[in-house]
Amino acid sequence: MKRLPEMFGSNVFNDEVMRERLPKDIYKALKKTMEKGTHLEVDVANVVANAMKDWAVEKGVTHYTHWFQPMTGVTAQKNESFITPTGNGKVIMEFAGKELVKGEPDASSFPSGGLRATFEARGYTAWDPSSYAFIKDNVLCIPTAFCSYSGDALDKKTPLLRSMEALNKQALRILRLFGNEDAKRVISTVGPEQEYFLIDKSVYEKRPDLIYTGRTLFGAKPPKGQEMEDHYFGKIKPRVAAYMQELDEELWKLGVLAKTKHNEVAPAQHELAPIFTTANIAADHNQLTMELMKNVASRHDMVCLLHEKPFAGINGSGKHINWSISTDTGINLLDPGITPSQNAQFLLILVAVIKALDDYQELLRVSAASAGNDHRLGASEAPPAIISIFLGEELTAILDAIETGKCYQDKEKDFMEIGASVLPHFQKDSTDRNRTSPFAFTGNRFEFRMLGSNFSISGPNIVLNTIVAEIFSQFADVLEKSNDFQEDLNKLIQSTIKNHKRIIFNGNGYEDEWTKEAERRGLANLKTTVDALPSFVSDKSIELFTKHHVFTESEIHSRYEILLENYYKTVQIEALTLIDMIKKGVIDSVLSFQGELVDVWTKKKSLDLEVSKDMEEKMISSISSLSSKLSQYLEDLEKSVQNAKSYSDALETAEYFKDVVIPNMIKLRDVVDELESLIPSKYWNYPTYGELLNSV
Ligand code: ADP
Ligand code: MG
């Protein structure tokens, strides 16, 4: 193995390579484009493209692709080779600036939510120079944004970049108020913790539900699940360790800062966390991480499950988004700092985040909504579907003191004046082990814990950046006009706390009592995806996103349609898969075992001896009554899926799947699980939970 520092980023066309391979003036021009988002001249692009190609070809690469993130949630690419015919039956390897900067994939088969009529199939991809090109599977990948021909965003990168721009613009206004003239840019930084399951390929291949839907649609509880809590941070099995090692190496080569790896709570569950970086790069890197997790698993004869809830009754997988804002001069704006003046700025930024979450709680909820994540949120393993903020004791006490105009008494029992010039000192709250909060302050950043493991992190980052930008802009509007900055700043902080403290909750979010309390506080409790999504198309949402140029109104509507469609299509595929597995596998198991029972019973009966047939009779009777339920519920589910065809409106269809199809699936699943627990393994046609979870 190469030494790590040499290996790190070896497949990335990064700053070091650029500096080495580009003429000075070209390098400078490119850097300017990267940092300021300025236009790239064609002649510059030509030189860059050529250097990229030479670098890639030296590494054995023959193709390039524009790598983008359409609304499918996975990344897409169409590989093109570098060859150009020379006219004498030979080829040379060429890569022009215009090919680097812009691509025109046929966009007609990507979800657009009605944005792009298929007759206008052209979409285009545009290079995002702020994210480095890299080599993956022998292809030079160029990170790009994906838009329709009329300029509507069809991907997750474009709005993320726009939201970062909005945040930058408004945050700089806040910094200037505090006399900070050095910072030229403010960026959001993100570190996503990624959970996943590993199972053996041989058992995976016998479960059509895992293959088609990513989760098990039935499975009786194994005798041992996660109740011993012996897996969390436990010793990593050699096979998993080898996988993690290779995954780390692959990620390092791509410049991904893979840092921590450990076992998670559920059996067969693990986590990987990188060191945080700029939101946009973090999003690209997280997509790459998920892709590599699957590819590397396959090389080890395993399958990596990224579904939010692959197994019922066992923890699902989430993705925690650690989010902060920082200046280009390296100052983390959510760091409380130690000097009072910095504290005043910090407190203003902190209350801005609090207000943003309170004002736009529904939108953050929307960003974590999917059919799969509905199985997790509120299920006593992930935060509830109610948005609240955990601040910890110390910060809460400070805010209380400011709100009531009282002094804040710190740990040394010194009384302190509250005022912009003498705000209290405080230390990082290192006590945060409240895992039940959806949005927790963890010392110098917030951790958003609602996201499911297979989401792109772009969604919540778009929302966070935009809602915080909005509050910054409201604050700046007030303070820029102020004649007495200190006084008005104090008032603003105080009134913001007063008006928005309902969103702060430091208690246990898993308790029922919290749900009631949240209702008393008037907080939204959008239990399912279908309940949550309409908030995305509300007037308030449209006003917010259009004001900050993050989404146009038609982009919002198209995304809303895509999300609804995604929801009901997911449930539909699950229902059809469940029906199919019952018809092809479960019924066969039930009949074979029943046959055997009846056989034994009949044989016993034909004996002249007086023998007990109790067991056979009991089993025949329970299995018979379960099988009659099975056939009834199967019919119910089939009919309900059929009926869905009568709906044409996306929201109505989604509601129907939530209210009718899902309950039918649950009913049916319960019967199958009961049957599974009665039927001997030699008759059961599918690997059990025990087998799946202990397969590696
Ligand atoms: P824990 O499990 O205690 O939450 P981890 O170490 O698993 O902590 O993950 C913490 C994540 O937070 C890492 O990805 C880390 O890089 C990230 N992080 C740290 N500081 C910041 C910051 N200022 N902005 C964004 N992310 C951060
Ligand atoms: Mg964490």
Which pLDDT belongs to residue 411? 45
For the CA of 190, the closest atom of ligand 1 is 25
Q: Give the Å distance between the CA of 74 and the centre of ligand 2.
A: 24
Q: Give the Å distance between the CA of 461 and the centre of ligand 2.
A: 16
Q: What does 308-343 look like in DSSP terms, one character per residue? A: S-SSTTS---BEEEEEEEEETTS-BTT---SSHHHH
104 pLDDT band, cuts 50/70/90, is confident
Mean pLDDT, to the nearest integer, of 611-619? 93
Q: Give the Å distance between the CA of 192 and the centre of ligand 2.
A: 8
The residue type of 29 is: A
Q: Is the Cβ atom of 276 under 6 angstroms away from ligand 1?
A: yes
Rounded-to-integer distance, Cα 592 and Cα 369, Å? 42
Architecture of domain 566-693: Up-down Bundle (1.20)
Q: Count CB neighbours of 683 within 10 A.
A: 16
Q: Which residues keep their CB under 5 angstroms from ion ligand 2? A: 193, 320
For the CA of 326, the closest atom of ligand 1 is 23
pLDDT tens for each residue of 56-71:
999 999 999 999 999 8
Which pLDDT belongs to residue 419? 43
* 316 in Cβ contact with 310 (< 8 Å): yes
Helix (H) or strand (E) holding 408: strand 408-409
Sign of CA dihedral 544, 550, 552, 556: negative
Q: Is the Cβ atom of 445 under 6 angstroms away from ligand 1?
A: yes
Q: Give the Å distance between the CA of 286 and the centre of ligand 1.
A: 14
Which of 4-8, 71-75, 111-115, 339-343 has the largest mean confidence? 4-8
Which conformational region is residue 129 in: left (phi greater than 0), alpha (psi within -120 to 50 degrees), or beta?
alpha
pLDDT tens for each residue of 284-335:
999 999 999 999 999 999 999 999 999 999 999 999 999 999 999 999 999 9
Q: Where along the chain do the CATH 1.20.120.1560 domains lie?
A: 566-693
Which pLDDT belongs to residue 94? 92
Ligand nearest to the CA of 326: 1
Q: What is the pTM of this model?
A: 0.94
Q: Give the Å distance between the CA of 287 and the centre of ligand 1.
A: 18
Q: Where along the chain do the CATH 3.30.590.10 domains lie?
A: 163-551
Strands annotated E in 250-373 = 258-263, 269-274, 277-278, 302-305, 319-327
Mean pLDDT, to the nearest integer, of 447-464? 97
Q: Is the Cβ atom of 552 under 6 angstroms away from ligand 1?
A: no
Q: Count CB neighbours of 291 within 10 A.
A: 16
Q: List the one residue out of 391, 392, 365 whose CA is nearest residue 533.
A: 365
Fold classification of 163-551 (topology level): Creatine Kinase; Chain A, domain 2 (3.30.590)
Query: For the domain 4-154, what is the CATH superfamily, name and number?
Result: Glutamine synthetase, N-terminal domain (3.10.20.70)
Q: Is the Cβ atom of 318 under 6 angstroms away from ligand 1?
A: no
**Inter-axis angle of helices 553-581 and 614-643, to 10 degrees?**
150
Three-state SS letters, 192-234: EEEEEEEEEHHHHCCCHHHHHHCCCCCCCCCCCCCCCCCCCCC
